[in-house]
Amino acid sequence: MIKNQLEEVRKHIEDACRRAGRNPEEVTLIAVSKTKPVPMLMEAYDAGARDFGENKVQEILNKKPELPEDIRWHMIGHLQRNKVHQVIDKAVLIHSVDSLRLAQQIEADAAKLGLDVDILLEVNVAREESKYGFLMEEVEDAIMRIKDFPHVHIKGLMTIAPFVDNPEENRGIFKKLFEFAVDIGGKNIDNVTMSVLSMGMTGDYEVAIEEGATMVRVGTGIFGSR
C-alpha cells in the first residue's frame, strides 16, 4: 500500500535526520510519480504527500489538471528548450537545469510570461558519460552568468548519483556536492542561494540526508517498481 510505503520512507527520513543531528523539517520528500497513474498519486496525496516529481513535461501537463491544486510539481528530468514555456508556470522548481542554453531559454520564456522561475543546477558529480548536468568545474562559471538573469533564481544544486549496490558508495558524492554548495553559498552572490540540495533517491536517500540533502526524490520506495 502506498500509504504504508510513504510512512516507511518518512520514518527512514526521520531516523537519518536523527543520526545526523538534523531537524526532519529541513528535508522535503518529493514523491517521484513518473509513469504512475493519477489514482496512485491521489493515494499518496491522501496520505499527505504534496510534493510530486515528474521527469517529463507531458506527464505534468496530463496529471496536474486531474489532481488537487495544492500539489507542488517538481520538474526533475532533462528538459528540452522547446518545452520550457509549457512547464515554467506549472512547476514550483526545475531541478534539472543542465546547460547555460537551457537557463537562457527559461529566462526568455519567463520574461515573456512575466514569471519568476526557481531553478537548481544539475551537477554530474560522478562525471558519468551517460548523465546530463554540469561538471563540477563548470558550475561556478554558469552561476556567475545566470545570476544576472532577472527572471531566473538559482536556489541550489541537484545531483543524480550513480546506481550502486551499496549506498555508502555514494556518500563521497553527496559530501562533495554539500561542501561545494557551502563554498558557493559563502560567496553571497546576488540572486543566488544554496538553500536547496536535491540529492538522494530510493537506494541512497538516507545517506544523502546524512550528508546534507534538503530534498530527496523517492519513486520506487513509495510507488513500487516501474
Ligand X SMILES: *Cc1c(COP(=O)(O)O)cnc(C)c1O
| Position among 13, 32, 97, 103 found at the interface with ligand X (CB under 6 A) | 32
| Residue 201 beta carbon to ligand X: minimum distance, rounded to whole angstroms | 4
Interface region with ligand X, contact rule CB under 6 A, candidates 2-10, 86-94, 166-174, 211-219:
211-219
Helix, coil or strand: residue 121: strand
| Position among 36, 64, 74, 217 found at the interface with ligand X (CB under 6 A) | 217
For every residue of 152-202, which 3-state class applies, written as one string? Answer: EEEEEEECCCCCCCCHHHHHHHHHHHHHHHHHHHCCCCCCEEEEEEECCCC
The residue number whose beta carbon is nearest to ligand X equals 219
| Position among 133, 167, 212, 219 found at the interface with ligand X (CB under 6 A) | 219
Task: List the interface residues with ligand X, window 143-202 (CB under 6 A).
Answer: 160, 201-202
Task: List the interface residues with ligand X, window 42-101 (CB under 6 A).
Answer: 55, 76-77
From the list 8, 60, 57, 55, the residue with the least C-alpha distance to 224 is 8
* Comparison of 193 and 202: residue with beta carbon closer to ligand X: 202
For 83, 148, 164, 174, 208, the CA distances from 171, given in Å and listed in that order, are 34, 33, 11, 5, 7
User: With 0-12 CB in 10 A as exposed, 13-18 as middle and 19+ as buried, what is 68?
Assistant: exposed
* Comparison of 203 and 212: residue with beta carbon closer to ligand X: 203
* Comparison of 131 and 151: residue with beta carbon closer to ligand X: 131
> Across the chain, which distance is largest between two alpha carbons, in Å?
46
Residues forming the site for ligand X (CB under 6 A): 32, 34, 55, 76-77, 160, 201-203, 217-221
